[in-house]
Amino acid sequence: MDFADSDTDLAFRHEVGGWLDKALADVPDQEELTQDEREHWSRVWQDRLCAGNWAGLSWPTAHGGRGMDALAQAVFNEEAAVRGAPYPLNGVGMMLAGPTIIAHGTDAQQARHLPGILRGDEYWCQGFSEPGSGSDLASLTTAATRVDGGWRINGAKIWTSNAHNASRCLLLARTDAAAPKHEGITYFLAPMDGFTVRSLVMINGDTEFNEMFLDDVFVADDDVLGGVGNGWTVALTTLAFERGSMALNLWVWARQAVDRLIDVAVERGVADDSAFVDAVGALQCDAEAVRIGSMRMLGESRAGGVPGPETSALKSLWARVVQNANRLAVQLDEAGGVLVDGDGAAARMRRYLRARAHTIEGGTEEVQKSILAERVLRLPRSR
């Protein structure tokens, strides 16, 4: 496989880089901001992406996008991550809701929602995980009961990013309790009216995740996406878009974690320590493996393939690199007796605490290993 950019891809990468350098000129370092400040700049960044026609790169031109492929979106995400750009506040809308509606929505649904996403007027969240149905998504119990003109929905969702800013939710609910668990699910484009949203305080003090409670929330028939009972198929489409959009981001985030670790070692005067050099060398190799694996996955997608269990290996490896790099950085701070604000130690501690979630969010480490065991090694099912 050729890992180098084609001439066309390289020209696009230069175009992206030129625009990003100008658009990010006044954006502060996100690592030094409070959560409220980061959220403010995420909203500002979202507005700039929409105004610059970067919000729908891989959307068809017929729907207001630029008609480029998934690799172009991945390249843009990579270049933005390298420069420390804020995460766009409507990332779920651009990367997940829009493409899923394009793939499964009616003409009326596309006309109703896609322009608002591209303008930055309609913000979305993803209501999949539940308190008892996270990794085993198909076991969800949020129930939708048919009523005149639509559905009454009751249940709870958890770990929902950006729910406190969203006006719409990609919502999965069970519409047929008697059907096999994968067949009784329906996918709704639910307005957030009637949702009760509560922030979840994480170990690092941030509240980026939420829990949502639905008590007799009404959703109209017009907001069923893909047909009643077809929710699992539509959800798999959303999850595929999620994997593709994040592919090149993972290796950038892994590389940034390793580079920050090296900076700390230089500050502490231990960069030449043999044990440290060995540890960093192993982390650098793993980060490079994430990059190569991401490129391979994107190449297969570009050729018409579907991402397979290798995505689980990439996610698992990325999480391990970021967690270990942040752990070593904090250990170096502790060895130097410095855990105070002002020299970056407090920010490193926050990153270390936040990284603990990487082996939980997006599919737990246990689930990723089960996928590899069952689909690659052909071992018996563990659950």
Q: Give me the pLDDT at residue 242, please.
A: 80
Confidence of residue 340 (pLDDT cuts 50, 70, 90): very low
* Mean predicted confidence (pLDDT) in 302-325: 85
3-state secondary structure of 56: coil
Distance CA 378, CA 363 (A): 20
Range(s) within the chain of domains with CATH label 2.40.110.10: 124-235
- In terms of CATH architecture, what is 249-376? Up-down Bundle (1.20)
Distance CA 259, CA 253 (A): 10
Percentage of the chain beyond pLDDT 90 is: 62
Confidence of residue 343 (pLDDT cuts 50, 70, 90): low
Distance CA 237, CA 134 (A): 18
Q: Give me the pLDDT at residue 350, please.
A: 87
Greater confidence (77 vs 324) lies with 324
- Which tokens hold the place of 242? 């999620």
The DSSP element (H or E) to which 213 belongs, if any, is strand 209-220
Q: Give me the pLDDT at residue 339, please.
A: 47
- Which tokens hold the place of 185? 């699910």
Q: Give me the pLDDT at residue 335, please.
A: 63
pTM of the model: 0.87
Q: Give me the pLDDT at residue 10, please.
A: 93
Percentage of the chain beyond pLDDT 70 is: 95
Range(s) within the chain of domains with CATH label 1.20.140.10: 249-376
Assign 3-class secondary structure to 149-212: CEEEEEEEEECCCCCCCCCEEEEEEECCCCCCCCCCEEEEEEECCCEEEEEECCCCCCCCEEEE
Confidence of residue 298 (pLDDT cuts 50, 70, 90): confident
Instruction: Look up 267 and say whether it is catalytic.
Output: no
**Other Cβ atoms closer than 10 A to 242:** 18
Structure-token match 């231990």, residue found: 270
Range(s) within the chain of domains with CATH label 1.10.540.10: 7-119
Greater confidence (72 vs 309) lies with 72
Greater confidence (134 vs 147) lies with 147
Greater confidence (195 vs 364) lies with 195
Residue 19 has pLDDT above 60, yes or no: yes
Dihedral sign of CA atoms 143, 147, 151, 157 in order: negative
Residue among 32, 78, 242, 366 flagged as catalytic: 242
Tens of pLDDT, residue by residue over 83-142, are 999 999 999 999 999 999 999 999 999 999 999 999 999 999 999 999 987 667 888 999
Q: Give me the pLDDT at residue 222, please.
A: 97
Residue 3 has pLDDT above 80, yes or no: no
Distance CA 211, CA 200 (A): 7
The alpha carbon torsion through 22, 25, 31, 35 (nearest 10 deg) reads -90
Between strands 168-174 and 124-127, the pairing is parallel
- Which tokens hold the place of 142? 């949020």
Q: Give me the pLDDT at residue 193, please.
A: 93
Confidence of residue 239 (pLDDT cuts 50, 70, 90): confident
Q: Give me the pLDDT at residue 338, please.
A: 47
Distance CA 325, CA 108 (A): 48
Tens of pLDDT, residue by residue over 154-199, are 999 999 999 999 999 999 999 999 999 899 999 999 999 999 999 9
Contact, 61 vs 69, CB < 8 A?
no
Residue 320 has pLDDT above 80, yes or no: yes
Q: Nearest to residue 323, comparing CAs of 315, 313, 334?
A: 315
Q: Give me the pLDDT at residue 353, please.
A: 92
Structure-token match 């936040």, residue found: 354
Q: Give me the pLDDT at residue 7, please.
A: 86
Distance CA 235, CA 214 (A): 20
Q: What is the mean pLDDT of the chain?
A: 90
- Which tokens hold the place of 211? 């829990």
> How many degrees, rounded to 5, is the angle at CA 65 between CA 111 and CA 102?
45
Greater confidence (229 vs 334) lies with 229
- In terms of CATH architecture, what is 7-119? Orthogonal Bundle (1.10)
Q: Give me the pLDDT at residue 342, please.
A: 47
What DSSP letter does each residue of 257-319 carry, written as one string? HHHHHHHHHHHHT-TT-HHHHHHHHHHHHHHHHHHHHHHHHHHHHHTT----THHHHHHHHHH
Tens of pLDDT, residue by residue over 276-289, are 999 999 999 999 99
**Other Cβ atoms closer than 10 A to 378:** 7
Q: Give me the pLDDT at residue 341, please.
A: 46
- CA distance from start to end of the chain: 36
Q: Please state which of the four CATH numbers 2.40.110.10, 2.170.190.11, 3.40.1190.20, 3.30.200.20 is assigned to the domain occupying 124-235.
A: 2.40.110.10
The DSSP element (H or E) to which 172 belongs, if any, is strand 168-174
